[in-house]
């Protein structure tokens, strides 16, 4: 399985070329892409394709991941664990979350297996780094959840759809820049999710923030968590490379459309970053015309160094 590719790995030209090699007409590509956009990744379920073609697809391509667990919370949130099926990451596990609200359904995707940055408040940082996800592995998280919501719809009042995607799961999205940009392009084109409904969260990789703004200016969220370099060097180690002054310049240059803002994420750690002087520094750092602060209660995990 690890040597196999996913259909989602193919560009439209590559899919057309593969179909031509099999002697299939060009319109088969549109049929396959329509199934993929509906979250059907298993070729045997693509019932308007000839049986022979389905068998050929099955022999050559595999879904990029399979679900190994789903847990449902009382507030409607669904947490998914996936095992990667193809390529260099085969056998590794990642997580994604579906978060329902009355008027929207948000999928939070992982972009890496683990993370290199080791922010001490973050459980993912304790897992070490296992590798970058391919674009197909990011897209497949969204598609799997989209399909699951059709096959097992949530109870009212939740809207059983994927209307928003946030790149805030395992990993630092901007450290996997190309795959993240490719997956965003796919979501924009194939699922018709607008740029306003896609958010990339970063711990503050300044050069990539600039590149993201130039290439695909979706919503931006910053894992800030401290507004002085001394404290942020501890809580968000990437700050040692890209300190707050460099981050400030990148945020000021990031393109924002009308009525859009950058979100500054700030996890409250008791006695660490919630003292009066910390909040004063936060107020001084934030640009209230372009940025909104999101204060988040700390969610302890076993062995966490904070309460």
Return the number of the residue (76 or 237) whose C-beta is nearest ligand SF4: 237
Distance in Å, CB of 234 to ligand SF4, minimum: 12
Q: Assign 295 to helix, strand or coil.
A: strand
Helical spans, DSSP H, in 22-164:
27-37, 51-60, 135-151
Return the number of the residue (86 or 124) whose C-beta is nearest ligand SF4: 124
Distance in Å, CB of 226 to ligand SF4, minimum: 12
DSSP H or E stretch at residue 66: strand 65-72
**Tokens read off for 275:** 């003292």
Return the number of the residue (31 or 233) whose C-beta is nearest ligand SF4: 233
Distance in Å, CB of 133 to ligand SF4, minimum: 13
Distance in Å, CB of 136 to ligand SF4, minimum: 21
What is the pairing mode between strands 65-72 and 78-84?
antiparallel
Distance in Å, CB of 122 to ligand SF4, minimum: 3
Distance in Å, CB of 189 to ligand SF4, minimum: 27
Helical spans, DSSP H, in the chain:
12-21, 27-37, 51-60, 135-151, 177-190, 206-215, 229-235, 244-253, 276-285
Q: What is the dihedral of CA 291, 294, 295, 298, to 10 degrees?
A: -130
Distance in Å, CB of 280 to ligand SF4, minimum: 24
- Give φ, ψ of 218 to 5 degrees: -85, -175
Return the number of the residue (42 or 129) whose C-beta is nearest ligand SF4: 129
Return the number of the residue (100 or 204) whose C-beta is nearest ligand SF4: 204
Distance in Å, CB of 214 to ligand SF4, minimum: 22
7, 35 contact by CB (below 8 A): no
**Tokens read off for 32:** 């396959």
DSSP H or E stretch at residue 264: strand 262-268
- Give φ, ψ of 125 to 5 degrees: -65, -20
- Please state, in angstroms and as integers, the Cα–Cα distance from residue 82 to each residue in 172, 276, 301, following that order: 18, 41, 20
Which residues contact ligand SF4 (rule: CB under 6 A)? Answer: 115, 117-119, 122, 124-125, 171-172, 203, 223
Return the number of the residue (135 or 175) whose C-beta is nearest ligand SF4: 175
Q: Assign 13 to helix, strand or coil.
A: helix
Return the number of the residue (5 or 118) whose C-beta is nearest ligand SF4: 118
Return the number of the residue (118 or 211) whose C-beta is nearest ligand SF4: 118
């Amino acid at each position: 399985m690890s040597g196999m590719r996913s259909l989602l790995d193919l560009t439209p030209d590559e899919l057309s070329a593969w179909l031509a090699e099999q002697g299939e007409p060009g319109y088969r590509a549109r049929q396959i892409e329509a199934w993929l956009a509906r979250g059907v990744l298993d070729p045997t379920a693509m019932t308007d394709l000839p049986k022979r073609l389905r068998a050929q697809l099955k022999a050559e391509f595999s879904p990029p991941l399979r679900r190994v667990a789903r847990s449902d919370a009382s507030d409607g949130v669904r947490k998914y664990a996936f095992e990667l099926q193809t390529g260099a990451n085969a056998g590794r596990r990642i997580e994604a979350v579906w978060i329902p609200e009355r008027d929207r359904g948000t999928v939070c995707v992982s972009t890496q297996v683990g993370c290199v940055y080791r922010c001490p408040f973050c459980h993912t940082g304790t897992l070490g780094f296992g590798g970058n996800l391919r674009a197909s592995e990011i897209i497949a998280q969204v598609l799997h959840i989209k399909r699951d919501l059709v096959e097992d719809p949530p109870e009212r009042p939740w809207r059983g759809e994927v209307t928003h995607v946030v790149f805030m799961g395992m990993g630092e999205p901007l450290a996997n820049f190309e795959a993240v940009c490719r997956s965003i392009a796919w979501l924009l084109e194939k699922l018709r999710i607008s740029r306003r409904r896609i958010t990339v969260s970063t711990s503050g990789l300044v050069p990539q923030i600039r590149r993201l703004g130039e290439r695909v200016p979706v919503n931006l969220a910053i894992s800030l968590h401290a507004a002085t370099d001394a404290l942020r060097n501890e809580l968000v180690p990437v700050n040692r490379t890209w300190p707050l002054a460099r981050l400030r310049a990148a945020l000021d240059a990031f393109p924002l459309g009308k009525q859009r803002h950058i979100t500054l994420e700030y996890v409250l750690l008791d006695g660490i970053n919630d003292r009066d002087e910390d909040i004063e520094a936060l107020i001084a750092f934030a640009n209230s015309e372009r940025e909104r602060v999101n204060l988040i209660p700390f969610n302890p995990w076993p062995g966490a160094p904070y309460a």
